[in-house]
Structure 1
Amino acid sequence: MARAAAVKAVSGEMSDASDRMGQILSESARLFATKGYDGTSMRDIAEACGISKSLLYHHFTDKDEIYARIALGSTQRLFEFVEERLPEGGTPPERVRAFMTATGDYFQRYRSNWIASTAAFWSDPELRRHKERMMWRDRYEGLIRRLIQDAINSGDFRPVDVPLTGRLVLSSLNWMHRWYRPEKGLTPAQIADSYYDLIFNGLKAE
């Protein structure tokens, strides 16, 4: 009984720590997205989380570590989020469209993380974290390239330069955060769907 209680207590502490770290990362992403990296202090983060600075430093060494963790976590979650939403029985073009609309949906749900991680992506001096972020980014980019190649192989898309087309797709999506305003017009997923139509169906009248 005593051992079971001890295990339960330890599990509870681990869960609390995980929840606290998640809160810190979420609030930090929101602050970085609205105030910028230089405009956000550890005190700002602690106050937003309702904790002391000493507890904040218990979880993270400094602001750079928080910033880097946001960039790494967002890159990994983006890939997983998009991959999970690809229709298994869909046609190759439907899967390309789903990739783009899922990316737009991710941006809408986790906009603060997207903005903060975009700014932080290349700035982390820690080599191991940088390599891991690049791995997830390459998996995400590799996924759209495979989907485009599948559509070419099926005869749905004409033969094109796959890496170049993949970069066109990602560039259209990655820059949305620079101009998108939630209160105006389409949702990010709807914008991504329109991008799909423009890129793969073109502007030329039938």
Structure 2
Amino acid sequence: MINRHHFKGLDKSVRRQKIIDTATDLFQKKGYSSTSLDDVAKELGVSKAALYHYVSSKDELLSIIYTHSIKNIFMGTYEMLDMDLPPNEKLRLFIHNHIKNIIIKSLPMFAVFFSEENQLLEKDYQNIRKEKRKYNHILEEIFKEGISKGVFKKVDVKLQSYAILGMCNWIYKWYKPDLNRYSSDDIADHFISLLETGYLKKKLPDDDRGPGTSKPAYKKVKSEDKKQTLNKLKLLCSDVIQLIDEIEKST
């Protein structure tokens, strides 16, 4: 619980951010439906009435959390894609950034982001869905570029994008920063190594691999129809489950 006098001594903008951060932590731990504004006020050591100087409702708090999440998702993404890099390196940077600088860096926020979407008001829900489609589209465009340049296999770009983001986003379910012996870089590099077996057209020379990435250790699949793509994804998921088991045993 935050000391009431300490809270009142903060600048107004800092107080508002403290309210948002506190609500985010409570929504993550208790769930949105089970958390009230009274809970947020109690955690901050202030009255519920005091909260209304900063937010009008619990719905607004959730909307703010999602707005901040979307801002974090796009921060630096477009700049990264404007770099003069081959598509395989762009994709490595995209995945590494998504895991390290988005999911793991703001874990409580994205735990809420991935679990409470259906609690949003309809207008907010539609806006968030629209922004998520924009982000997916960025990944799809990287794949299209890679396929057209002969770097990536001819895959279903939408299915492949969903698979990559789904695999990366699931990190919020099991990653415990204070307990895991794996750093965010370790996890990002391992995931990239696994995923590259599904989309790289051929083995690249060592000097053409991105920094901090390891060589793929899994057999490539020749056919790229949807059925075999799904089979590959099952194998990748199996590898991720093994990684999660290893992480849980080490905690």
Q: TM-score range by the shorter chain?
A: 0.7 to 0.9
Instruction: Using CA pairs under 8 Å that are at least 6 residues apart, name the structure with larger relative contact order, 1 or 2.
Output: 1
- Once the two structures are superposed, the pairs formed by residues 84-95 of structure 1 within 5 Å of their partners are 84-86=79-81, 88-95=83-90
Counterpart pick for 1:98 among 93, 99, 103 = 93
RMSD: 2.2
Alpha-carbon distance in 1 for matches of 2:48, 2:85: 50
Segments of 5+ residues of structure 2 without an aligned counterpart are 1-10, 199-217, 221-251
Give the match's secondary structure for 2:119: coil
Query: Is 1:26 the equivalent of 2:21?
Result: yes
Give the match's secondary structure for 1:186: coil
- Which letter does structure 2 place at the counterpart of 1:204? K
Equivalent residue, structure 1, for 2:246: none
Give the match's secondary structure for 1:89: coil
- Which letter does structure 2 place at the counterpart of 1:53? K
Counterpart pick for 2:120 among 102, 124, 133 = 124
Segments of 5+ residues of structure 1 without an aligned counterpart are 1-15
Counterpart pick for 2:180 among 174, 177, 184 = 184
Counterpart pick for 1:199 among 191, 195, 207 = 195
- Once the two structures are superposed, the pairs formed by residues 50-89 of structure 1 within 5 Å of their partners are 50-86=45-81, 88-89=83-84
Instruction: After TM superposition, give the deviation of residue 150 of structure 1 in Å.
Output: 1.4
Alpha-carbon distance in 1 for matches of 2:189, 2:82: 15
Alpha-carbon distance in 1 for matches of 2:114, 2:36: 19
Deviations 1:35-62 (A, max 9, x none): 2223422122123334332121222222
Alpha-carbon distance in 1 for matches of 2:56, 2:81: 38
Give the match's secondary structure for 1:193: helix
Equivalent residue, structure 2, for 1:148: 143
Query: Is 1:111 the equivalent of 2:126?
Result: no
- Tell me the TM-score normalized by structure 2: 0.68
Deviations 1:100-150 (A, max 9, x none): 1111112121111001121222321232x2222122111111111111111
Instruction: After TM superposition, give the deviation of residue 168 of structure 1 in Å.
Output: 0.9
Alpha-carbon distance in 1 for matches of 2:103, 2:145: 25
Alpha-carbon distance in 1 for matches of 2:182, 2:84: 28
- Tell me the TM-score normalized by structure 1: 0.81
Greater share of residues in helix: 1
- Which letter does structure 1 place at the counterpart of 2:180? K
Q: Could you say if the C-alpha distance between residues 84 and 18 of structure 1 is closer, same or farther in structure 2, counting changes exceeding 3 Å? A: farther
Contact 1:76 1:133 (C-alpha < 8 Å) held by counterparts: no
Contact 2:59 2:121 (C-alpha < 8 Å) held by counterparts: no
Query: Is 1:48 the equivalent of 2:43?
Result: yes
- Which letter does structure 1 place at the counterpart of 2:105? R
Contact 2:26 2:35 (C-alpha < 8 Å) held by counterparts: yes
- Which letter does structure 1 place at the counterpart of 2:187? I
